[in-house]
A and B are shown apart, each in its own frame.
Chain A
Amino acid sequence: MSEAVDGRRGALPPGVSHSPELSERLRGDDYLAGEGLSTAIFLALKLGRPLFLEGEAGVGKTEVAKVLSRILDTPLIRLQCYEGIDVNQAVYEWDYARQLLHIRTAEALGMTEDRAHFEDELYTRQFLVSRPLLQALEHHGPMPPVLLIDEIDRADDEFEAFLLEILSDFAITIPELGTIRAERPPVAVLTSNRTREVHDALKRRCLYFYIDHPGLEREVEIVRLRVPGVEEHLARQVAGAVQRLRSMDLYKPPGIAETLDWTEALVALGAKELDEDLISATLGSVLKYREDQQRTMGMALSLLAGTGGA
């Protein structure tokens, strides 16, 4: 698009100028987003704002970033957060081994006389290892890359504050080198499982969307879209069973990821029809807590199979 270089503007894929078109495009790449989510993604792209996604595990938060990188045809740069992640792991690190080697070589060749100059040489781009955030800023190409900052709630406050700076300016200052600014701000997607409340200041920089479990019809559609070779009948039964499981007050209600795993397991077993034996044989792919499994086994599995649903 023509508004490309003013630095703040976003990156809509070519041919998309309205939210419904984007929704179609996402669907074409096997991602079914409801109206809310596709509007959120559309706005994030159009306004060039980071998108902050929250929701239960397995509802497809990370998937959003992946599908975006496909429809924009740009690399996906992923930063998995964890406790204690710091600048050296997230942004850049100097390549000490190479620097040391360089010193030795220079010494051997007697090139270290001009000390100031030599030190400058040690801190140049060639000795810098770039980690995900720097990679995202340094990317060159027609479209900005997709930067996925996954599970931000696992990182700590210090890192969050640091991220705040990057997400507002899309620039990083490396003391020895100077400031590196993104040609075009990357499409940033942040996800959180809400194990910890992320700071308001960070959220304020972002568009916020809470992804819910899908309704029955959409889940059936998702299953059919994502699991090749599944028949409508089975897809409907599985989705129905999962919906019932979600209403059952379990420790970990299954997400869409589990629905897909389960369907794949069933398809692999050549199932055409969900019955009690199949359910008890494959329950491990949907419910991952022993208590949850016991609770489910306790009730009539035929109820889960939804024999009336056929």
Chain B
Amino acid sequence: MPENAAPGAAPPILDAAVTFGRVLRRAGLPAGPDRVVEFVRAVEGLDVTRREDVYWAGKITLCSRPEDLEVYDRAFRLFWDEEEPRLVSPPKSRLSFSLTEDSVQPPKKTVEKGERGEEAVRLRYSPVDVLRKKDFADCTPEEFAELHRLMADLNLSGSLRKSRRLGPSPRGRRDARRTLRDALRTGGEPVRHRYRKARDQPRRVVLLCDVSGSMAPYSRALLRFMHAGVASGEPVEAFVLGTRLTRVTRELANRDPDRALGEATRAVEDWSGGTRLGDTIKEFVDRWGQRGMARGAVVVVLSDGWDRGDVEMLAEQMQRIERLAHRVIWVNPLKAAPGYQPLARGMAAALPHVDVFLSGHNFESLEALARAISGAGRYSSPLSARL
């Protein structure tokens, strides 16, 4: 532990650094031993008795992402300046659902006709093909468990595009390297010409899932769907749209679904709040999309289109995405209702910028979504699909 405010004066810097590393790790910074060693070397290269030098040495060696910088600053003040730790425990996140399987009781919207209990019992072991068509909002916990197993088999890879990497091919551009290699075998005579061609590569898929209150009956299933995508190892990015934007790709990358969903849930602070869809999508385009994540990608928005914010904003942001992305898919669970019209103002504003409009309320529709993502089906006229 540091003795005085002047860092490193009395205790050997190594001890202090190791303890500081531990503090940082607890604060969520991945400051492993190798980094700590690097930190010590850096401090030794500077002036150990100057606070600023210790500060910068640590920042440069122990941080590796912009998100780390603020955490580091706080931890530094706390540790080296022995600032009064003001309420160290972060505000507990407000979770609308915990992750134990049976705590999820999606609101029963369509089954409220008094037969609810009976039906739930009858369908507990419903055959798979019934389950596939069943609305997520009506599923029992057992059925959810079954659905999750089905989802793991969904193939979520984007439609193919030409990569800039070249691979061997029967025709294409001349491959001088391999032609010459072969020529050596035939006494320098290039008898057989070799060619290479750009390889096909799946496009990146970006999933943006709305978790506002009105989406609650579907959030869990859709999140599980996102997990299936991210964990498949294909280039899939996942974001959660609440009152704020949260990137959950890292969290969902865990192969164990329960742990992955648990981590993702912890990462998101605002489940089931109101959404300002336009603002959060703007945050996505500003911070990630425009810089490259959405470029040439398949962007999927999973939302009912209820926007408490400025609808103009949503339209503008969807237009930006439309310009960047290869294809924009909007998945709205409400679309399945007979006679659905995109009346939610946000939905109506976004639709002109959407290539494919799907429902996503049951497993079968998610299969359709997976097909749309891989570009298998022809979905050329999205707006006609609306009716």
**Residues 47-66 (chain B) with a chain A CB within 8 angstroms:** 47, 52-53, 56-57, 59-61, 63-66
**Does chain A have a CB within 8 A of B339?**
no
C-alpha gap A193/B320 in the complex (Å)? 19
C-alpha gap A193/B34 in the complex (Å)? 26
B163: contacting residue among A35, A83, A107, CB under 8 A: A83
B46: contacting residue among A19, A82, A93, A252, CB under 8 A: A19
C-alpha gap A18/B285 in the complex (Å)? 42
Q: Are B64 and A204 in contact (CB under 8 A)?
A: yes
A130 CB to nearest B CB, Å: 16
Nearest CB to that of B295 among chain A residues? A195
Interface size class of A (residues with CB under 8 A): 35 or more
**Does chain B have a CB within 8 A of A200?**
yes
Q: Given A46-B45, A100-B183, do A36 and B188 touch, yes or no (CB 8 Å)?
A: no
C-alpha gap A261/B269 in the complex (Å)? 42
In the complex, which residues of chain B have a beta carbon less than 8 angstroms from the beta carbon of A39? 46, 53, 56-57, 60
**Does chain A have a CB within 8 A of B293?**
yes
Q: Given A36-B56, A86-B165, do A193 and B292 touch, yes or no (CB 8 Å)?
A: yes
Q: Are B56 and A83 in contact (CB under 8 A)?
A: no
In the complex, which residues of chain B have a beta carbon less than 8 angstroms from the beta carbon of A18? 47
Q: Are B183 and A103 in contact (CB under 8 A)?
A: yes
Q: Are B60 and A208 in contact (CB under 8 A)?
A: yes
C-alpha gap A96/B292 in the complex (Å)? 36
C-alpha gap A181/B293 in the complex (Å)? 36
Q: Given A39-B56, A112-B187, A196-B293, do A83 and B164 touch, yes or no (CB 8 Å)?
A: yes
Nearest CB to that of B47 among chain A residues? A18
In the complex, which residues of chain B have a beta carbon less than 8 angstroms from the beta carbon of A208? 60-61, 63-64
Q: Are A47 and B290 in contact (CB under 8 A)?
A: no
In the complex, which residues of chain B have a beta carbon less than 8 angstroms from the beta carbon of A107? 187-188
**Does chain B have a CB within 8 A of A207?**
yes
Q: Are A195 and B292 in contact (CB under 8 A)?
A: yes
C-alpha gap A207/B42 in the complex (Å)? 10
**Residues 17-53 (chain A) with a chain B CB within 8 angstroms:** 18-19, 35-36, 39-40, 42-43, 46-47, 49, 52
Q: List 28 A-B contacts (CB under 8 A).
A: A19-B53, A35-B56, A36-B56, A39-B46, A39-B56, A39-B60, A40-B60, A43-B42, A47-B42, A52-B64, A86-B165, A88-B177, A96-B179, A100-B180, A103-B183, A107-B188, A112-B187, A156-B165, A194-B291, A196-B292, A197-B65, A200-B64, A204-B32, A204-B34, A207-B42, A207-B60, A209-B60, A251-B320
The chain A residues found within 8 Å of chain B, CB to CB, are 18-19, 35-36, 39-40, 42-43, 46-47, 49, 52, 54, 82-86, 88, 93-94, 96-97, 99-100, 103-104, 106-107, 112, 119, 122, 153-154, 156, 193-197, 200, 203-204, 207-210, 251-252, 291
Closest 9 CB pairs of A and B: A84-B164, A195-B292, A103-B188, A96-B176, A39-B56, A84-B165, A203-B64, A195-B291, A40-B60
